[in-house]
Chains A and B, each alone.
Chain A
């Protein structure tokens, strides 16, 4: 039973035909070809699929595409302004907060949401916030550093 869903993704209005069981992440990856959002598990634990829905970080594997009807969705592809990296992306690069890159889009989207919600988060707050994002490469050390620096940069500081 296909149904049509419409939403705004990275500032553009999009629509597509989906099954009721189609997950938001499948709609993003398969219908829209936005493959920056990744799928790393099937139990909503890993966070590789985190996107923003109406300004909040959401695991896009945990939401049906039809639930995002009319929503404003931002994916990793929509974060940078042209060729200029978002301050959080730049901080991940500067502090080597990524290795294989697979968890990175979810990490960055999650981190941006934290920085929106908590000004200058402490290391403890960052580590606690990341309990829904798994990384197997970095040991989190440099991710935590990157998020601290990125959050500061988002405040306009350096």
Chain B
């Protein structure tokens, strides 16, 4: 079993009458040097085989290689399947509707089957997800993961059909999504990844697909605890403003809450390997008087009804302004990172609809925030969409010509965050 720790960073001091409590909870899980726990794992690889995957031909051939690389990364004993996604979902391997158990023999047979993938048909992502759910049936105690690749819009089902599929699949497995080329919709794939607690990224060049698939499969094999939840206890009369994952990327979890008894709610976090994630918790409590100390929230990491680790978020009311006005660097940093992601998405949306003033202002703000926080990856992506006159003030001009790939890369990666820089 992995070891979890929760560290809380906050300024617990509030001025008299104040009620908003902010804290960053850093959750770290380690295997303690041991081999990852021998958890049951199940992996379904869904590869888009719609007709467009054949234009250019390099897309489908790169996809075949990428799926083969992912198959090679599966540990012996992992149950797996490869599904071809078009306007329906068809089995590639095994040839019948079930999971195969990974071994040298099955991996070789699966790779052989993948060589026969042919581009033909449409795109209906909801039906692919339902197929994965069906294949995972009966594996309640397994860590279930899907790798999903698409190259186009979800044309062959309605948005409502996709939403219904997401509702049906939510919480049963996690899904990392990749878009190859530039003919797919960032917002659509982001919605799928967010609902399925997975990542989303763009692979502009099909040649990069193989390395990315191998990395995703390896990361999936590194997961040792499935279905981890963040359980939040709050005092009577408190209201949760938001719970956001803020590292490695920004994801608002507020709406994912399931109440589990009085003053307690669960937020699903998906599967964990050896990794670290940060969460920003913001709670309004009943204000205390100077000298009072309150537990504003207790953050527990829970898996299989067991509490793995806990952190305390406190509120202490003081009339010492030197204490209450102190800004916690972690809270400030991640508040900025969340604003950065939002500014990029709003700026790109404004740019798409031709509102250049808003686009310039929002992307300028994003440039400023990225520079201040040392988020160089996002700053570089911004530099491909705007000409930067002064990063300190966020003075920018929209580039007149921006490639689709650059715009989509900025959009998909806008929520990637960095940690607080070292002091001084």
Chain B binds chain A = no
Binding site for B on A (CB under 8 A): none
Binding site for A on B (CB under 8 A): none
